Structure 1
Amino acid sequence: MDIIVLVGRILFAYLFLTSGVAHFAKRQMMAGYAASKGVPAPMAAVLGGGVLLLAGSLSVLLGVWADLGALLLVVFLVPTAVLMHGFWRERDPQARMNETTQFSKDIALAGASLMLFAFFSFTGDDLGLTITGPLFHIR
């Protein structure tokens, strides 16, 4: 089971790790897009989001307080879904469909991250192939 969970952590973290890197490498473009969506302080939001993505994904990937890392991803995903992918604001059917898909993806990933939080917290030190045990302990 340890290997399966490790492979799952790697696959799950990949999306967030690459997105976190892009938040720094393409910060100007991303801040412009965030500004167009009405996000206040768009550059700070992009950089803060990048920190959440990198810290959360590396935590899950390496197994260093992976429960906390999963929560950091939730903290990124839910506001991003609401602020960046407000499909209810779109009048164009194609734009509405695209934003609905992105909103749904972010909410689904937030749900998966919450499940990972519970899994890591509940399993505790019994989950192998991690550097540390969980920060939180759910019983």
Structure 2
Amino acid sequence: MDVLVLIVRILFALLFLGAGIAHFSQREMMAGYAVSKCIPAAGLMVDISGAVIILGGLMVAVGVWPDLGALLLVGFLVPTASLMHDFWRETDPASKVNAQTQSLKELSLTGAALALFAFFASPGDELDPLVPGSVLTP
């Protein structure tokens, strides 16, 4: 079971690590998209969100306070689903479908991150040695 949990953590984190790197390697493009969504201080928000998802993804993958890492990812996913993929505002049918798919993906990932949070927070230090324990349990 320990190996399975490690595989789950790594597979889940891969998306966020790749997206976080893209926040920095494609910063101008992402900031332009954020501006089109009326996000204030778009460049700064791209930097902050990129750092948050890299940190959260690493925490989950490596197992250092993975419950906190999962919550960081939730803190990124919820606003992203509603602010960046606001399908209800789209008028073009193809854009609407794409935005709705992305929004639902973000919400599904939110559910997975919350499930991981619950998994990591509940057993505390009783998890395998690759998970050094919950930040929320003494």
Q: Deviations over 1:61-115 (max 9, x none)?
A: 0000000000000000000111100000001111110000000000110111011
Matching residue of 1:43: 43
Q: In structure 1, list runs of 5 or more residues that go unmatched.
A: none
Matching residue of 2:17: 17
Superposed structure 1 runs of 4+ greater than 3 Å apart: none
Deviation at 1:11, TM superposition (A): 0.5
In 2: Cα distance, 1:123 partner to 1:116 partner: 12
Whether the 8 Å contact between 2:85 and 2:99 is mirrored in structure 1 is: yes
1:97 aligns with 2:97: yes
Equivalenced residue count is: 137
Q: Deviations over 1:10-52 (max 9, x none)?
A: 1000000010111111111110111111111110110010011
In 1: Cα distance, 2:102 partner to 2:59 partner: 24
* Helix, strand or coil at the partner of 1:16: helix
| Identity value in percent | 55
Matching residue of 2:124: 124
Matching residue of 1:27: 27
Whether the 8 Å contact between 1:53 and 1:73 is mirrored in structure 2 is: yes
- TM-score, normalised by the number of residues in structure 2: 0.96
Whether the 8 Å contact between 1:6 and 1:129 is mirrored in structure 2 is: no
1:5 aligns with 2:5: yes
Matching residue of 1:136: 136
Whether the 8 Å contact between 1:63 and 1:130 is mirrored in structure 2 is: yes
In 2: Cα distance, 1:131 partner to 1:5 partner: 10
In 2: Cα distance, 1:95 partner to 1:5 partner: 36
Matching residue of 2:58: 58
Matching residue of 2:111: 111
In 1: Cα distance, 2:133 partner to 2:10 partner: 17
Whether the 8 Å contact between 2:66 and 2:131 is mirrored in structure 1 is: no
RMSD over aligned Cα, in angstroms? 0.9
Whether the 8 Å contact between 1:27 and 1:43 is mirrored in structure 2 is: yes
* Helix, strand or coil at the partner of 2:99: helix
Whether the 8 Å contact between 1:81 and 1:103 is mirrored in structure 2 is: yes
Deviation at 1:129, TM superposition (A): 4.1
* Helix, strand or coil at the partner of 1:45: helix
